[in-house]
């Protein structure tokens, strides 16, 4: 944002005309002291305006003068103005992110040797099979500055189907929580962040029922019936929340339709599948 590279915003003839007009006008208004963010900005060719910083877009700063907002390329401002804008950004980060999420089979690369803890979310019965997977969230930081001390919390939605041979089937959905600490999110590029491993089981057992029929003549007949019980766990999507220095700054949901349509709430108390750390530079 503060380099001299090609401009993505404010470089059209119309924009440059607005910039020229803005810096050709000298504000003679009396600015109240209460407006702490209102100051004089000077272009590289010496023209000045008194304006307020209201945000950024691409490589341009948005300066408000009166009721008009001008998009001025940062490269057109003086060095002191650039330093001021860097400091302003630290205190007024315009948080903006893009997310893309997919589920990947196999164990998470963060599970071993990096503080990961991934206990199985086991059903009841004799284990027949185990599915191991993890989610990868690619987060593009469009905030304009690199972010450090970032924490990605998530809730994996698990559907549990319990089929008891003699008493029917019961289905329920619950959340399992996780947390990935991220050392930094560089500005302007995507960072792929894995979750901890999600270990789900598909278990089965057998139920036996012995039935005895007694006849009026005193005789009886007995028979035994066996039915299969099944306890299956399967993922139904994930909900991410992104925190910067403890502040919630972004979130993203990738949920199956039946879960999304139920309007779920974020559960603070959950089963934890993992707490891991991730360094994008390694």
Distance CA 18, CA 9 (A): 13
Q: To 5 degrees, how large is the angle CA 59–CA 65–CA 67?
A: 110
Q: What are residue 192's phi and psi, to 5 degrees?
A: -90, 115
Distance CA 207, CA 166 (A): 8
| Residue matched to tokens 């302003």 | 88
Q: Per the confidence metrics, is the pTM higher than 0.75?
A: no
Residue 57's CB is within 10 A of a number of other CB atoms, namely 13
Please state the domain extents for the chain: 13-91, 97-278
Identify which has the larger pLDDT, 254 or 7: 254
Amino acid 33: pLDDT:
36
pLDDT tens readout for residues 199-228: 888 877 777 777 777 777 777 777 677 777
| Tokens coding 173 | 């959905």
CATH number of 13-91: 2.30.30.700
**Residue 1 confidence class, pLDDT cut points 50, 70, 90:** low
In 35-125, where do the E strands start and end? 38-42, 48-57, 60-65, 68-73, 97-105
pLDDT at 26 over 50: no
Amino acid 196: pLDDT:
86
Q: How is residue 12 annotated by DSSP?
A: S
Amino acid 164: pLDDT:
74
**Residue 271 confidence class, pLDDT cut points 50, 70, 90:** confident
pLDDT tens readout for residues 106-138: 888 875 433 344 444 455 556 577 888 889 999
pLDDT at 191 over 60: yes
């Amino acid at each position: 944002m503060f380099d001299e590279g090609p401009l993505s915003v404010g470089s059209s003839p119309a924009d440059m005309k607005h910039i020229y007009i803005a810096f050709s006008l000298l504000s003679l208004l009396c600015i109240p002291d209460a407006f702490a963010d209102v100051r004089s900005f000077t272009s590289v060719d010496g023209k000045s305006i008194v304006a307020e910083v209201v945000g950024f877009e691409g490589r341009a700063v948005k300066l408000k003068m009166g009721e008009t907002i001008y998009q001025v390329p940062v490269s057109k401002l003086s060095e002191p103005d650039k330093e001021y804008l860097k400091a302003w950004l630290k205190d007024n980060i315009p948080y903006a992110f893009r997310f893309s999420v997919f589920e990947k089979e196999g164990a998470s690369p963060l599970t071993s040797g990096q503080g990961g803890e991934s206990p199985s979310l086991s059903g009841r019965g004799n284990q027949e099979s185990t599915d191991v997977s993890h989610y990868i969230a690619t987060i593009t930081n469009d905030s304009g500055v690199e972010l450090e001390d970032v924490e990605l919390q998530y809730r994996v939605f698990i559907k549990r189907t319990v089929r008891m041979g003699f008493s029917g089937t019961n289905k329920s959905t619950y959340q399992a929580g996780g947390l990935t600490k991220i050392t930094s999110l560089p500005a302007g590029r995507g960072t792929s962040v894995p979750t901890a491993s999600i270990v789900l089981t598909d278990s089965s057992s057998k139920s036996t029922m012995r039935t005895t029929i007694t006849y009026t003549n005193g005789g009886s007949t007995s028979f035994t019936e066996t039915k299969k019980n099944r306890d299956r766990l399967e993922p139904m999507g994930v909900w991410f929340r992104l925190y910067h220095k403890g502040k919630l700054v972004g979130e993203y949901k990738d949920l199956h339709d039946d879960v999304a349509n139920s309007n779920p709430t974020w559960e603070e108390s959950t089963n934890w599948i993992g707490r891991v750390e991730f360094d994008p530079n390694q």
